[in-house]
Structure 1
Amino acid sequence: MENETQMYFATNPDAKHDEHLINYQLDELSLQFYTDAGVFSKTRVDYGSCVLLKVLKQLEISGNILDVGTGYGPLGLFAAKLWPKSHVTMIDVNERALALAKRNAQLNEIDNVNIFSSECYRSLDEQEQFGLILTNPPIRAGKQVVDDILQNAKKYLQVGGILLVVIQKKQGAPSAKKCLEQTYGNCEILKRDKGYYILKSVNK
C-alpha cells in the first residue's frame, strides 16, 4: 500500500520526482500542465475533472472563484481562462502540487490567480466571498475532510454563489448530495458520466 506521506493530500510528499508535461484541450481552450509524482493524477487530467470542466463552461457566474484542493491546477487555471475578469484563488495542502500550480500558471500566461497553502479554508480571509467554489475533493483524505469542504464552503459563498463538486457514486456521491441538501437546502445533479456526479448547490 502506498505510504501515506506519498499521497496527494500529504503536505510534503516524499515520492521520487517523476515529472511529466501534459496537454489538455477543451473545445477552443488548450492548456499545458507540469505534473509530478506525489500529486493527484500525474499522467493526465483525471476523468472527473474533465467532466466538471465540460459542465463549468456552461455556467454563468459573477464574482471571484475559489478552487479547493487545486492539485497542479487544472480546474482553477481553466476557470481563470474562462473568466479572465474574475480573480481565482487556488488552495491545497500539498506543497509539491502548489509549486506545480504556480509553475503552470506561468507556463500558460495566466495572471488572475492567487495560489497558496490552506487546509480546507483555514488560510482564507473570513470576509472573502466567492461567486463560484470548485472542488474535486480528496476522497482518500476521509469523509470528515470532504464534509468540511462541502459544508464550510457556505461561509465563503456570496448570496447566489455556486458550489460545484465532482465525486464518484462509489466514493460517496449520494452521501455528498445529502450533505449538500442539508447545508444549502438544495442540490442539483448537473451531470452523470461513467459513475461521476457533478453536484451543484446555490447559497440562497
Structure 2
Amino acid sequence: MTEYYYTQNPEVLHEKRQWQFTLLNQNLTFNSDNGVFSKATVDFGTRTLLEALNLKEFTGEVLDVGCGYGPIGLAIAKAVPEIHVDLVDVNLRALDLCKENAEQNNIHNVTIWESDTYDKVEKTTYQTVVSNPPVRAGKSVVTKILVEAKNHLQVGGSLIIVLQKKQGAPSAKKKMEQVFGNAKIIHKQKGYYIIKSVKESQ
C-alpha cells in the first residue's frame, strides 16, 4: 500500500534531507524526509499563500492546519515574533520534522502537536487559521478544514486557504461563502487561488 503524507505513520523508508528557502523575507533551513508533503522544496501553493498575506494584520494567535514540516506556520512565526502560532498535523513524521525545524531556526513562539484537523484543537479565539489543505486526503477532509475553522476563530478572525482551481478552489469558495457569509479570492497565480473568509459574528 502506498502511504500518503496525510496518514499518521507513513511506512516509507527514511531519506532525510536538508535545504534552505526564503519565505516572508526570512532565510529558513528545512529538514525533510520521505512520507511528507512536498519533501524536496517548499511547494508553489504554500509560497503563493504566504505571498498573499498582509503580516500587519497578524496581531493575535494563528493556527496552521495540516502544517506538514512547517513552512507556513514557521515562516509566519519567524516573521512576526510577537505573535504565537499553533501548528497541527496528523502525520507524526511531519510533526517531528516541524519541531526540528522550529528549533533549528530558533523559532520559539510556536506550539506543535498531533491533531486530525481540529480534533485536538481546543482554542476558539484564533485570529487567523491558515491551511494548504491535503487534497489527496479527500474532499471530506478539505471540507472539514473549511467548515470547522469558524468554530476556532474569534469574531473578526479570518480563514485563509490555498487551493488549485482544478482541485476544487471554486467549490471551496462556495462552501466558505455558505459557512461564513463571505469569501474573497485575495490572490491568484498559475491556477492557485488564495481564498479568505472573515468570521463576522458568532
Q: 1:182 aligns to what SS in structure 2?
A: helix
1:100 aligned partner, one-letter code = L
CA distance in 2 between counterparts of 1:85 and 1:117 reads: 24
1:123 aligned partner, one-letter code = K
Partner of 1:143: 139
Alpha carbons 2:85, 2:110 under 8 Å: kept: yes
Q: Which runs of 5+ in 2 are unaligned?
A: none
Pick one of 164, 167, 176 that aligns with 1:168: 164
Alpha carbons 1:11, 1:94 under 8 Å: kept: yes
Q: 1:102 aligns to what SS in structure 2?
A: helix
Deviation per CA, 1:140-163: give whole Å up to 9, x if none: 011111000000000000111011
Once the two structures are TM-superposed, the CA of residue 58 in structure 1 deviates from its matched residue by 4.9
Partner of 1:46: 43
Partner of 1:159: 155
Alpha carbons 2:63, 2:86 under 8 Å: kept: yes
Alpha carbons 2:132, 2:161 under 8 Å: kept: yes
Alpha carbons 2:77, 2:84 under 8 Å: kept: yes
CA distance in 2 between counterparts of 1:57 and 1:14 reads: 38
Partner of 1:90: 87
Structure 1 ranges of 4+ moved more than 4 A:
none
Larger mean CA deviation between 83-92 and 94-103 belongs to 83-92
* 1:72 equivalenced with 2:69 (yes/no): yes
Q: TM-score, normalised by structure 2?
A: 0.96
* 1:18 equivalenced with 2:15 (yes/no): yes
Partner of 2:78: 81
Once the two structures are TM-superposed, the CA of residue 48 in structure 1 deviates from its matched residue by 0.2
Partner of 1:34: 31
Q: Which runs of 5+ in 1 are unaligned?
A: none
Deviation per CA, 1:9-64: give whole Å up to 9, x if none: 01000111111112111363111110000000000000000001111245512310
What is the percentage of aligned positions where both structures have the same residue? Answer: 49
CA distance in 2 between counterparts of 1:145 and 1:107 reads: 31
1:52 aligned partner, one-letter code = L
Aligned alpha-carbon RMSD (Å) = 1.1
Q: Structure 1 residues 57 and 34, CA, compared in 2 at 3 Å: closer, same or farther?
A: farther
CA distance in 2 between counterparts of 1:59 and 1:200 reads: 16
Once the two structures are TM-superposed, the CA of residue 89 in structure 1 deviates from its matched residue by 0.5
Alpha carbons 2:24, 2:50 under 8 Å: kept: no
Alpha carbons 2:24, 2:76 under 8 Å: kept: no
Deviation per CA, 1:121-180: give whole Å up to 9, x if none: 11111x431001000000001111100000000000011101100000000000100000
How many residues were matched structurally?
200
* 1:199 equivalenced with 2:195 (yes/no): yes
